[in-house]
Amino acid sequence: MKRQKPPRKNPHPVRSPSKEDFSDSSINFTCQVYNIYMQNPRLLLDSNTVHSYSRSKHENLVKSSIDKTKPPLQLQKPVSRLLHEIESLEYNQGLLDHIKRPKIIWKGMPHDIRNESYFEMLHHVEAQVVSTLRMTPIQYLNTKLAILSVAREFEDRGLSFRKVDAQRAVRIDVNKACKLWEFFHDVGWF
C-alpha cells in the first residue's frame, strides 16, 4: 500500500513572474547605502538631516530629507562640560540626601560600577540607581542631562512632563527611561 502525500496548502500554485514579465510601469528600488557612505562617510555623523537615497529604473539618484521622530544619537561630550550643563539646570542636588533607598526594581543582579570611570561623580544614591539599572556612570550622566533639560523645557512651557516624554528624550531602553523618570520624580526634580 502506497503512502499518500498530504494535500498541498495551495492546490493551485502560481509561478512567480519572471524578469521578462515586468513592464515599464513597475518600479524597483535599490538602495546603495554602502557605496554612498564610502564616498562620503561624514553622512553618518550628519545631525541635521537624515538622507535617504533611492535609485529606480526611471530616476537618477534622488536625495530627500526625512524628519526624525527621535533625537539623534549624540556624540560624547567632555565630562567637564556635561557636569557643567547639569549644574546649570540648577536642580537641588541636596534632595538626594533625603533618600535612603531608591525605589527601583530591576531584573537581574546590580552591576558593580565602583571601578567604572566617573563613578566618583555620582551621589551615593545615584550610584545605587545606576548599579541597579546596569548602566555606566557616563550613560547615566548623559541621560540625566537629557531628561532634566527636557523636563525644564516642559516646565517653562507650563506642560506636564510624562514618562513618554522622557522616553522620547533619550535613546536608551524605554523601561530604563521610565525608571529614571520615576526616580527623578521621587527625588522631587519635577
Banded pLDDT at 61 (limits 50, 70, 90): very low
Q: Which of 139, 131, 130 is nearest to 109 (CA)?
A: 131
- 3-state DSSP call for residue 181? helix
In the chain, which ranges are E strands?
Answer: 50-54, 62-66
> Helix, strand, coil proportions of the chain in percent (round to 5)?
45, 5, 50
Least confident of 74-88, 101-115, 126-140: 74-88
Residue 24 burial (CB count, 10 A): 7
What CATH number matches the domain at 79-187, 1.10.760.10, 1.10.10.10, 3.30.70.340, 2.40.110.10? 1.10.10.10
Domain layout of the chain by residue ranges: 26-66, 79-187
Q: Is the pLDDT of residue 59 over 60?
A: no
Instruction: Give CA 116 to chain center in angstroms.
Output: 22
Q: Is the pLDDT of residue 26 over 50?
A: yes
CA atoms within 13 A on the CB side of 38: 4
Partners of 53 in the beta sheet?
A: 63
Least confident of 37-51, 81-95, 113-127, 149-163: 37-51
| Mean of the per-residue pLDDT values of the chain | 79
Residue whose entry in the numeric block shows the C-alpha cell 498541498: 8
| Burial of residue 151, with CB atoms counted within 10 A of its CB: 0-12 exposed, 13-18 middle, 19 or more buried | buried
- Convert the pLDDT of each residue in 143-173 to its tens digit: 999 999 999 999 999 999 999 999 999 989 9
Q: Which amino acid appears at position 37 of this protein?
A: Y
Q: Which of 139, 152, 140, 138 is nearest to 88 (CA)?
A: 152
CA distances from 128 to 1, 110, 113, 188 (A): 72, 8, 9, 17
Question: What is the 3-state secondary structure of 54-86?
Answer: EECCCCCCEEEEECCCCCCCCCCCCHHHHHHHH
118 DSSP 8-state letter: T
